[in-house]
Amino acid sequence: MKESKLLSLCLTTLLIAFAFNAELVLGGSDDDAVFLERNVNCEIKGSNEAETEYYEKIEVLNRDGDYLALKIIWESSLLELKDFSARLYDANGELVKELEKDDGKKLCGFGSYEVYADYCYNIFAFSRDIYPYTVEYSYKTKRKTLFQWPDWRPQSYVPVRHAKYTLTTDDDFVFDYKSSDMVPPPDTISSDGKKIYTWELNDVPELEEGDYASFIEFGGIAIQFAPAEYKLGGYKFDGSSWNKLSQGNYIMVHECFELSDKQEKFMGKIVAESETEKEICRNLHRRLSELSRYVAIHTGIGGWQPHKSRDTFERGYGDCKDLSSLYVSMLRFAGLDAKYVLLSTRDAGITDPDFPSLARFNHAILFAVADGDTLWIDPTRNDCDIGELPWQDENTYALVVDPMSGCLLRTDSSTAEENLIVRKTELWPQKNRSVDVKMEYYLTGNPRDLFSGGIAAFSEINRHNILTNNIFELCDKFLVDSLDFPKVEIDQPVQKLKLYGRIRSAVHRIGKKQILDLTFLDYESKKKHYIDPETYKQPLEYLFPKKLVDTVIVHLPDGKTVVEMPDTTRIEDSIGVYKICCQVSDSIVLLTREVGNYQYRIMPEGFSEYFDHRDKIKGIDELYLKLGNR
């Protein structure tokens, strides 16, 4: 257990560093690095295995490109790393360091969103602070199933000078592929009973932001692959349609739905205590959340196949597949129509509805028809009520696993009104130009889940840093003195939070007047996108619709009054809302705001409307109060 926690901490640290550096690239200089070569050579062995060779050559130009000197390669019981070598060269092309397979760090035993995963991580890293330098990676993997044949995505957040994908198959191997508009048709040759397909690209443009948008759906450069027939263990899957893929998955999982006598007794008691079908779902979710926890343990094809429901119930733990099949089996025993569902979470990229493939599905949840309504449930999230999905699960594609009615659906989408951040702030400007701050938050929907799921697991010190820098986008001037929040149960819709702190410098003197700078209150301050609509071709991501309802009370110092304040303004359109009202009474200033967005993403064709919206509110939300003597 201690070793597992240590490994988890190490991997988390590495991945956070990786994500941080990647973010720097997104917002940094034009060229932090460049891929000189990015090549893949995949050979299908028989009808169910693949050996793939990778070669990458990267020139790192400054420290913001250092993350490309870190290589993380996944392994599982069905994906083996066969060979690995890497070299680092200085600016003159002289060899500085070499790495072999045994030089990597292998970390295993992690559970996460992956529905079909029992991954270990092989981590290889170079370190150098003299620029530029060049790294080369050469490695080979063996995939023991084509159950999740990966896409080819040659684009990166830095330029790619040359990219090539070579696919070798037997003449009679049947598969389908779909490429984006920017990928030319492959060169195809036949030789000695083999077919060789080659896709080749030069000067691949950089990826832009749009982290939760699928490259395929939104015009990025990618190729999807899918065999006509999948094999996994003793199971076969017909890849001709979503319904056929659903039927194949049902054959693999349906035996897991069998209940024990203990489960039936447990469920009978819940039914007796519940007056409606929704109450049955809620009471089951509450009870199982208390009794079970998320743990991923896999053997054989166990990374793909759930454990039996009765075993998961008896052990009290399981991964997303185990917990979803547990819920489905018990709800069906209660007479409800419950369905096991495979999900492509939004952070994994959106599944292409016109291309049946299991490549992107990385999670399992369920839904139940209760009192005429469809209730989605993510059993791995014991902080979400029934009918509520975390942001990763909502507004994305799900494959209903059923012998007859299997199909592709979109999960529910939340509205801005469901994702509320209600904030009350009191400010006391001080003579030393600092401002004492008291804040109270009331969070619902996704903001509540992000907070309770993100901050609660951290230490008190780290909570301050995360709150300030990551969750509510408060400026770095904000110093948190104390933080108070009660634990939220499943069926409590509101997360409450109180924090006390100060801004070290927010009162500025200009001549005889003072200006109280309130821009640190701007929830969207780090999310204002200044983009060129002529070159920006990927969607603008909002993560989810949300609304901030803000009340700010400023306690003016003795002898001070407000001589200039923001005008009352109301702007609302299909993009979002911005409302502001400011009133003064004696020594109190009352400022109320409503700021929100109504969409998950803005597509390029909607940029003109987005810019119109931004132009209307530009400057209005730069919050300042000019103070004078009373």
Closest CA to 10 of 154, 113, 108, 129: 108
Which band of pLDDT confidence, cut at 50, 70 and 90, is reported for residue 17? very low
| Phi, psi at 465, each rounded to 5° | -65, -45
Q: Sheet containing 624-629: give its strands across.
A: 507-510, 513-517, 624-629, 560-564
Q: 212-262 pLDDT, tens per residue?
A: 555 445 556 889 999 999 888 888 899 999 999 999 999 999 999 999 999
| Phi, psi at 134, each rounded to 5° | -125, 140
**Cα separation values, 151 from 84, 557, 630, Å:** 21, 62, 68
Q: Which two three-digit tokens encode residue 236?
A: 């076969």
Measured distance CA(451)–CA(457) in Å, rounded: 10
Task: Provide the terminal-to-terminal Cα distance of the chain, rounded to the nearest Å.
Answer: 65
Measured distance CA(619)–CA(488) in Å, rounded: 37
Which band of pLDDT confidence, cut at 50, 70 and 90, is reported for residue 303? low
pLDDT(132) > 80: yes
Q: Is 85 left (phi over 0), alpha (psi -120 to 50) or beta?
A: beta
Q: Which two three-digit tokens encode residue 440?
A: 């109270």
Q: Which residues pair with 187 in a beta bridge?
A: 198
Where, residue-wise, is CATH 2.60.120.1130 in the chain? 416-629
Determine the topology of domain 2-227 in CATH.
Immunoglobulin-like (2.60.40)
Measured distance CA(212)–CA(412) in Å, rounded: 16
Half-sphere exposure for 421 (CA within 13 Å, toward CB): 25
Query: Looking at residues 386-400, what average pLDDT do you find?
Result: 91
CATH code of the domain made up of 416-629: 2.60.120.1130
* Pair 250, 364: CB distance under 8 Å: no
Where, residue-wise, is CATH 2.60.40.3140 in the chain? 2-227
Taking CB atoms within 8 Å and a gap of at least 24, the contacts of 606-615 are 607/531, 607/533, 607/536, 607/540, 608/533, 609/573, 609/574, 609/575, 610/540, 610/575, 611/533, 612/573, 613/571, 613/573, 613/575, 613/576, 614/528
Q: 507-547 pLDDT, tens per residue?
A: 888 777 788 888 877 754 444 445 666 766 777 777 899 99
pLDDT score at 403: 92
pLDDT score at 110: 52
Q: Which two three-digit tokens encode residue 81?
A: 């790393």
What is the pTM for the complete model shown? Answer: 0.81
Determine the topology of domain 236-410 in CATH.
C8orf32 fold (3.10.620)
Where, residue-wise, is CATH 3.10.620.30 in the chain? 236-410
65-69, 312-316, 458-462, 474-478: which has the minimum mean pLDDT?
Answer: 474-478
Please, what is the Cα angle at 152 between 146 and 157, to 5 degrees?
A: 145
pLDDT(471) > 50: no
What is the DSSP code (8-state) at residue 131?
Answer: S
Closest CA to 477 of 485, 486, 468: 468
| Cα radius of gyration (the chain) | 27
Q: Is 264 left (phi over 0), alpha (psi -120 to 50) or beta?
A: alpha
pLDDT score at 477: 62
Query: Looking at residues 172-177, what average pLDDT do you find?
Result: 94
Measured distance CA(466)–CA(483) in Å, rounded: 12
Strand, coil or helix: what is 477? coil
* Pair 309, 326: CB distance under 8 Å: yes
Closest CA to 315 of 254, 260, 363, 385: 260
Residue located via tokens 């998320």: 294
Which band of pLDDT confidence, cut at 50, 70 and 90, is reported for residue 560? confident
Measured distance CA(568)–CA(570) in Å, rounded: 7
Cis link prior to 493 (omega < 30° from 0)?
no
Residue located via tokens 């790495």: 99
